[in-house]
Amino acid sequence: MRIDVVSIFPEYLAALDLSLIGKARQDGLLDLRVHDLRSYTTDRHRTVDDTPYGGGAGMVMKPEPWALALQSVSDASPADGRPVLIVPSPAGAVFTQQMAHELAEESHLAFACGRYEGIDERVLEWADELFDVRPVSLGDYVLNGGEVAVLAMVEAVGRLLPGVVGNPASLVEESHSDGLLEYPVYTKPSDWRGRGIPEVLLSGNHARIAQFRRDEQFRRTAQRRPDLLEGLPAGTLSKADLAA
């Protein structure tokens, strides 16, 4: 997969050199390039923002540096069709695990990191010819810019690419993979500071362990995220789940 990130703080994305995503880049599974928006400015001060039409607080990102940067990303695209352009914004659709799975199928993703009050709206309209433009939010809170959201989204998508996570089984039994939160996990020692572990995990009975874990998933989800249970497709929960 190819990923391009445009930002006025390219150093923010240095964390993508680390851990599994860094290794995926080294192994050639992920071709990730970060571009400095300021290198697409043409004035002496490398200006990327200006005051908002209509007044109000804060500054708005100027359209022309964005057009030049995005044109350059589009020109270099290895994708057949329009690459997906994610614009992180608290005004976007909320990012989910399902979205991560869908994005992991793409050959080219681009990310446009806004700062200040956001990017001049005309850039998104203009970019529609070159990209499949999608404003995406990390959640219902406000960050100072898109960079932290990009770190989260690139990690969530990148770990789904074939070969990035060593044991693909670990992607199956994790939170949100089946619409529920994941079950609690324990490791040695079995007695730690006076606390034991659920007996069933020592039983060697795989069916009972699976049922225990499923019950815990359901109990946790009902307690912490009841909204997720309402969103499950009809028939997802077994009789045993409903009895738990």
CB of 141 to ligand ADE, least distance (A): 5
Shortest separation between residue 15's beta carbon and ligand ADE, angstroms? 16
Closest CB to ligand ADE among 136 and 180? 136
Q: Are 47 and 41 in contact (CB under 8 A)?
A: yes
Using the rule CB under 6 A, which residue among 137, 178, 197, 232 binds ligand ADE? 137
Neighbouring residues of 165: CB distance < 8 A, sequence distance ≥ 6: 20, 159, 171
* CA pair distance 20, 164, nearest whole angstrom: 7
Q: Residue 5 CB, nearest distance to ligand ADE (Å)?
A: 13
The answer to whether residue 139 forms part of the interface with ligand ADE (CB under 6 A) is yes
- Least CB distance from residue 161 to ligand ADE, whole Å? 22
- Residue whose C-alpha is closest to residue 84's, from 73, 69, 97: 73
For the CB of residue 86, give the shortest distance to ligand ADE in the complex, in Å.
Answer: 9
Residue from 88, 100, 158, 183 touching ligand ADE (CB under 6 A): that is 88
Identify the residue among 90, 159, 237, 244 touching ligand ADE (CB under 6 A). 90
CA angle 90, 75, 138 (to 5 degrees): 15
- The region of 25-33, 142-150, 165-173, 177-185 touching ligand ADE under the rule CB under 6 A is 142-150
Query: Cα angle vertex 116, ends 14, 58, to 5°?
Result: 160
DSSP H/E element including 50: strand 49-50
Dihedral angle computed from the Cα positions of residues 150, 7, 72 and 156, in that order, rounded to the nearest 10 degrees: -10
Tokens of 10: 């390219």
CB 78 to ligand ADE: min, Å: 26
Least distance (Å) between residue 84 CB and ligand ADE? 15
- Identify which of 176, 195, 35 has the alpha carbon closest to the alpha carbon of residue 94: 176
d(CA 174, CA 171): 6
Does 209 bind ligand ADE (CB under 6 A)? Our answer is no
Q: Compute φ and ψ for 5, nearest 5 degrees.
A: -125, 125
C-beta closer to ligand ADE: residue 53 or 141: 141
10 is an interface residue for ligand ADE by CB under 6 A: no
Q: Would you count residue 6 as binding ligand ADE (CB under 6 A)? A: no
Assess 89 for contact with ligand ADE (CB under 6 A).
yes
Q: Is 138 in the site for ligand ADE (CB under 6 A)?
A: yes
Binding site for ligand ADE (CB under 6 A): 88-90, 137-139, 141-143, 145-146, 149
